[in-house]
Chain A
Amino acid sequence: MKTFALITVLLLGGLLFYGTPDFPDWGDPASPASLHVSPYYIEHAVEDTAVPNIVTAVLADYRGYDTMFETAVIFSAGIACLFLLRVYRRKSARTRLYRHNLTGVTLRIAKGGKLPEGSAEFERIDSVWVPYDMIIKVTSRLIVPFVQLFALYVIAHGHHSPGGGFQGGVIFGAAIILYALSNDLRRAFRRLSEKAALLASAAGVLIYVGTGLLCLLLGGNFLDYSMLAEMLHTDAIMARSHGILIVEIGVGLAVMAVMVSLYYNLSSAGRHDEGL
């Protein structure tokens, strides 16, 4: 296998090497790739869409269609993971474990029995060896809101600085993952349940597609945000800018939900009982 791999890889490398000498030099400003379509974007993005971040402008407007499918890809990854891994089972007959936070005693309570969740004295834990880890919990408590805020900032300021719906969504999702990591899966579910995540992911992409459809219904082509101008009481250029923001929000929502859902499914192997 190794030799075969080596041969294949060398052949492939040879093929790739073969074409490389004819490449324009790296970083050459006059390479053909930089002369045909890209200049248009650089020179017209601000005029067309009032978005200084050209990448965002291209991403969400000129090539917004790609991005819509990119969101759909992420969405389908989330659904795929759910579809593949999710184990649907009746409430298991397993005993539940509670730790009494004042004494450190772990209680094992059989099916049917329940201790008050959410009280400060008892804490439900996944398994006996789950450590009491105050430091991580406090840290997560302290930084999660800021991370979330930062995520929203990234989404909102995709026009002016790097970032946008996707990055913001991932960071927001990461915040929730952080919460789930430092506490446990059950608590994370209380913040964002599985169904809510699914709903949010679908809703996020629907915001995107719906915006496109709205443009179509208002008489433009699909995703032609300038058609939103009348609805938003602005001119066509600002309409594009706002349209970009709307779809970025959709992307962010979808990506956030999918990332969380992926984490839920991967870390618990679809059982949703106990995370990482």
Chain B
Amino acid sequence: MHDVFLYASVFLCGVMALSLYRAVFGPTVLDRLIGVNAIGSKTTALLILIGLIYDRVDMFVDIALAYATLNFIAVLAASRYFQKRKGLYDEMGDK
């Protein structure tokens, strides 16, 4: 089972890399936000997988839980930016 988890986490890392593409190259900020949000949910799973690999899940669950919460807060903050500052291209140098 150990190996399964390992392969799963490697695979998950690969998936994260795919999401990261959107985060890094996403044309707009919001695309990046989507990418990062997606990375966040994968990270939560990955943390527990690591816990399983270490055979100490009970220690990693807390981190994952904290993570799930705080990821939400970060995304919320970023989207609040647009709710208050209307424009996506506002005050960008070269419109």
Q: Do A and B bind each other?
A: yes
Residues in B whose Cβ lies below 8 Å from that of A182: 76
A147, B59: Cβ atoms closer than 8 Å: no
Q: Are B86 and A161 in contact (CB under 8 A)?
A: no
Q: List 5 A-B contacts (CB under 8 A).
A: A161-B62, A163-B62, A174-B70, A181-B73, A182-B76
Q: Which of B9-17, B26-34, B77-85 lies at the binding interface?
A: B77-85
Q: Which of A150, A157, A276 has the most C-beta atoms of chain B within 10 angstroms of its own C-beta?
A: A276
Residues of chain A within 8 A (CB-CB) of B83 are 130-131, 133
The answer to whether B76 and A178 touch across the interface, beta carbons within 8 angstroms, is: yes
Residues 157-183 of A, flagged 1 when their CB comes within 8 A of B and 0 if not, give 100011100010001001001100110
The interface residues of chain B lying within 8 Å CB-to-CB of A129 are: 84, 86
CB distance from A264 to the nearest CB of B (A): 14
Question: Quick one: CB contact mask for B56-72 with A, threshold 8 Å, 1 for yes?
Answer: 00111011011001101
* Interface assignment of A136: CB less than 8 Å from any CB of chain B: yes
**Cβ–Cβ contact B80 & A181, under 8 A:** yes
A154 interface contact, C-beta 8 A: yes
CB A184 to nearest CB in B, in angstroms, measures 10
Complex alpha-carbon distance, A129 and B85, angstroms: 9
Asked if B81 and A276 sit within 8 Å, CB to CB, the answer is yes
